[in-house]
Amino acid sequence: MKVWCLCAALLLFCPPLLNAGQDSVTLREAIRLSLERNHLLTAAQHRKTAAEHGVAASRSRYFPRIFLDETFSASNAPTRVFMMKLDQGRFSQNDFLINSLNHPSWTRDYRSAFTLEQPIFDLGIPYGTALAEKEAEEQGLAFERRREEVAFAVFTSYLEVQRARAMLSAAQEAVRDAREHRRLARARNANGMGLKSDELRAGTFLAEMEQQHITAQNNAALAGMRLALAAGGRGGESLDIAEPLPLPSLDTGAEELMALALSNRKDLKEAEKAAEKAGIGVKLAGSAFLPTLYGSAGYQMNDRDVPFSRDNDSWIAGVNLRWELFDGLRRFDERARARSLEHSARDSLEYQQREAVFQVKESLLRREEAKQRLAIARSSLRDAEEGVRLVTKRFANSLSTLVEVLDAQTALNRARASVVEQETGYALATARVWYSAGIFLREVMK
């Protein structure tokens, strides 16, 4: 029986033994892991790479295009037979006979052709390239924004592990205190100075504290798994924190933070690129009103019997000017649509900039609120500890009831939990200030 009691005590008061093989990381290590392994980041990286390839593909339109065609055809149509024989160099005097011209025998032709096409003037190419470049820049900023989001998620998960561990420690203290109260109640009842009901009430209170301790253990385990997941681990893996985070300080003023937000936030830069991209879209739509000029050259071989061979060959070179004069007003509507999209993008940018300034101000107010709440919680904890000390002393001298002791203990447990919550809230509120200003990664990794 004593062995089982010893094992239960070890499991209750030494939860780290359950996770003896669990890895521990600092905040910076956890963020580095997430930046290397998080699948949301790799997905954003693939989109960025795809956009870069889109730029290369768009620039390739400046280069000539070369085609190789091999065509086989057979016919007895007079014009086709005439041209096949002429291309093959097999046209003879007998082919000018009226009957041969009107009713030729069928023939076949293998046509091998190399064709080169070179753009000379086409504004759709530079505007299309500029559009692709803006898209690549936008995806690059989206990748950086995702890095901030992932790092912030890791920070939040790290804080949650720290909070869960502190709550677990508070739950352990509550169990120890509850056991001490039950011990005193039993001793008083055994000495004839207390009541059996006090002993039973103390036992009930201990059971409640032990239940809360079990919940705190599970919360700590789940917080470790959430941290591992945020750091790019597999589902079910767990990470512990190597060290608690000190309460962060804030050395930057409100005006500077708002200026940093407008210049550093990646979502605002994305919106700027979207507006620039929409402006290029207007120019691209306008380029459809202008002509295009392309040069071309070709080399052709014709053979009656063998593909990729020649009975005769020829070449051709030229320049083509194409100007679409009327298309049912389609281009006017497309340009108007592009202008509307540009206005929409710029209005969205203006709103996001104002929203960013508001978010900085809001986060600063929330941080100040969290600071004041933390100070109150710490003061309340000191009062609760002193209250428990005094009431317990009075209870030992039969000047207070057990109900008063347990009420004071409950208030102390709440005060301990409140300090943990407020410390976590204060750290998170400071991180939100950095995040709203677009400097979160810079601050946590320096």
Q: Can you tell me the distance from the alpha carbon of 16 to that of 240, in angstroms, rounded to the nearest whole number?
A: 10
- Asked if 102 and 78 count as a contact pair (C-beta separation under 8 A), the reply is yes
**Angle, vertex CA 127, rays to CA 124 and CA 132, nearest 5:** 115
Q: Can you tell me the distance from the alpha carbon of 63 to that of 266, in angstroms, rounded to the nearest whole number?
A: 34
- Residues in the chain predicted with pLDDT less than 50, given as ranges, are 1-21
In whole angstroms, how far apart are CA 220 and each of 158, 215, 229? Answer: 11, 9, 14
The bridge status of strand 107-121 relative to strand 292-303 is antiparallel
Chain centre distance of CA 423:
27
* Burial class of residue 267 in the structure, from the number of CB atoms within 10 Å of its CB (0-12 exposed, 13-18 middle, 19+ buried): middle
| Predicted pLDDT of residue 15 | 40
| Domain limit, last residue, from 306, 323, 340 | 323
Tell me the three state secondary structure of residue 111.
strand
| Predicted pLDDT of residue 75 | 94
Predicted TM-score (pTM) of this structure: 0.80
- Let me know whether 273 and 395 are in one domain: yes
- Let me know whether 12 and 97 are in one domain: no
> 166: which 2 tokens?
């502190």
Torsion of CA 135, 136, 141, 143, to 10 degrees: 120
Q: Count other C-beta atoms under 10 Å from residue 371's C-beta.
A: 17
Tell me the three state secondary structure of residue 398.
coil
CATH classification of the domain holding 376:
1.20.1600.10
Q: Can you tell me the distance from the alpha carbon of 12 to that of 144, in angstroms, rounded to the nearest whole number?
A: 44
pLDDT tens digits, one per residue of 329-357? 999 999 999 999 999 999 999 999 999 99
Tell me the three state secondary structure of residue 118.
strand
- Let me know whether 255 and 330 are in one domain: yes
- Let me know whether 31 and 43 are in one domain: no
The parent domain of residue 335 ranges over 2-37+122-288+324-445
What are the beta bridge partners of residue 24? 240
| Predicted pLDDT of residue 296 | 96
**Number of independent structural domains in the chain:** 2
In whole angstroms, how far apart are CA 61 and each of 68, 116, 123, 124, 128? Answer: 18, 13, 11, 10, 10
- Let me know whether 257 and 151 are in one domain: yes
In whole angstroms, how far apart are CA 231 and each of 40, 105, 379, 434? Answer: 11, 77, 36, 20
- Let me know whether 72 and 197 are in one domain: no
- Let me know whether 44 and 22 are in one domain: no
- Let me know whether 280 and 318 are in one domain: no
| Predicted pLDDT of residue 22 | 55
